[in-house]
Structure 1
């Protein structure tokens, strides 16, 4: 059973903008009281007071050279603060979006998404998708509820240049009319037979990702679990990209073989 008394005490110690700033400065490297006082434009006495509290809590410790550095506990706590920070900064967004069927192991890493920007508006979302496709050299990986027709031709061009393409789609995906004719005309099926294009299916796609080797985009569903193309998070940040790539790999591993007959125009 969780000891909430101890947990609440830790939250109390972190309930200070100055102490949070100090912690994340010390993530980069150990520092002295006078150095941080100048950086944050506060008195040395104020920094010293906060240092003492964090030493007593076990977040930081004094080193032989009079610098202060993070303890193992302090460094681990910093990794968790990112999750609270991300959720706090996007509180309005998550008032009308949910996590759908996202596995708890990805929720525990939600702080990895902190360094990202929210793209709003269907037109801007689709343009960002295209940008990810156009800038791909090594691969394009998707987990989507649907694929707009104007992305297909972009994808074919990249694959013909050597880009690996893997796609996971929902069994109940919305398929636009003219899709089959476009696939045949563009040379899609020979690329599929050569396995330069690979596709699989999930029973339901709620959380969507689209990524190449350098950037990634992530879309959470609305509160009913339906995909929302009106907004998404986009980033080239390493942690954000790793989260999206791991999510794609997870979906690929649990997905089923692609079955064309399940899709309806």
Structure 2
């Protein structure tokens, strides 16, 4: 067998739409043939044949109770299919947005963002960001390029800080800072929370991908031609989507520098 022949054979088993659907459904949980047949609106003999092909390809296995589970090999291939599905489903978005600047370990997991909803328009994106702030109970984490110091955002953050919600922010060294920033910080008492450690801040030389999350939901904004774009974003409450965004934030937090006020223009 040639170097790539076995790989080609594995993918050939996934070339059928029904087999592909079966594999992706088994990614979520084990199931029985009758259940899948009902969900797909197909006959049991037809679905059985496709189950057998997937078993013979070592992509799924039969359990003692008659149900089927995905194998380790199946999980790996299935996760890659999720990535392709995510990119194809959002090909219009990724025609003008890129994630090439991401570390490779995050690109490998990009398919978990498949459950996200794309929001268009600066106002709608900001509204969803505010909802993430408002819904936070334990923490608010964000990587920021443009810093919104509007009264409505500041009031939300002050309320959350009063409720003992922690805030961690990573600022770009070239962050766009409105003129009223210092006045709003002094007026609303943010210095007290900074000094107490309720607000923690760091800085990063270059920020192009924006992330905003609380303990339950997250949003991400990919750049356009390397430039920050806050007019389009992907949001979700899906646990895997959230985990990806949290991991990405923590990765950047660990490699960011200490916050220096003088760096902000």
Q: What's the counterpart of residue 204 of structure 1?
A: 206
- How many matched pairs? 261
> CA-to-partner distance for each residue in 1:190-244, whole Å, 9 max, x for gaps?
2111111110000011111001111111110002x11111110111111111111
| TM alignment of 1:1-265, pairs within 5 A | 3-27=3-27, 28-32=29-33, 34-150=34-150, 151-223=153-225, 225-264=226-265
Moved more, 171-180 or 43-52: 43-52
Whether the 8 Å contact between 2:30 and 2:67 is mirrored in structure 1 is no
Q: CA RMSD in A?
A: 1.9
SS at match of 1:118: strand
SS at match of 2:155: helix
Whether the 8 Å contact between 1:58 and 1:74 is mirrored in structure 2 is yes
Question: In the superposition, relative to structure 1, how do residues 206 and 3 fare at CA in structure 2: closer, same or farther (>3 Å)?
Answer: farther
Question: In the superposition, relative to structure 1, how do residues 147 and 100 fare at CA in structure 2: closer, same or farther (>3 Å)?
Answer: farther
Report how far residue 5 of structure 1 moved.
Answer: 3.5
Whether the 8 Å contact between 1:170 and 1:202 is mirrored in structure 2 is yes
Moved more, 138-147 or 60-69: 60-69
SS at match of 1:176: coil
TM-score (norm 2): 0.91
Find the aligned partners of 2:76 and 2:101 in 1 and give their Cα distance.
Answer: 27
Which blocks of at least 5 consecutive residues in structure 2 are unaligned?
none
Report how far residue 183 of structure 1 moved.
Answer: 0.8
Question: In the superposition, relative to structure 1, how do residues 199 and 63 fare at CA in structure 2: closer, same or farther (>3 Å)?
Answer: closer
Whether the 8 Å contact between 2:208 and 2:222 is mirrored in structure 1 is yes
Question: In the superposition, relative to structure 1, how do residues 178 and 114 fare at CA in structure 2: closer, same or farther (>3 Å)?
Answer: same
Report how far residue 149 of structure 1 moved.
Answer: 1.4
Report how far residue 51 of structure 1 moved.
Answer: 2.4
Which blocks of at least 5 consecutive residues in structure 1 are unaligned?
none
Whether the 8 Å contact between 1:59 and 1:74 is mirrored in structure 2 is yes
Question: In the superposition, relative to structure 1, how do residues 155 and 67 fare at CA in structure 2: closer, same or farther (>3 Å)?
Answer: closer
